[in-house]
Amino acid sequence: MAVSIDLSGKTALVTGAGAGIGREIARWLARAGAEVAVNDIREAHADAVVNEILEEGGSAISAVADCRDDAAIDEMVNRVVASFGGLDIAVNNIGMIPEGRGLKPFTEYRGDDWRDIIDQNLTLSALCGRAEAEVMASGGGGVILFVTSGETTRPSPFNAAYAAAKAGINHLVTSMAVELGPAGIRVLAIAPGTTLTETVA
* Helix-helix angle 43-55:20-31, to 10 degrees: 30
Residues in the chain: 201
> Is there a contact between 137 and 180 (Cβ–Cβ < 8 Å)?
yes
Strand ranges in 5-72 using DSSP code E only, listed in sequence order:
11-15, 35-38, 59-62
Question: Among all residues, which ones are annotated catalytic?
Answer: 162
The C-alpha atoms of residue 26 and residue 15 are separated, in whole angstroms, by: 9
Label the pairing between strands 35-38 and 11-15.
parallel
**Residues near 171 by Cβ (< 8 Å), separated by ≥ 6?**
none
Q: 3-state class of 187 per DSSP? A: strand
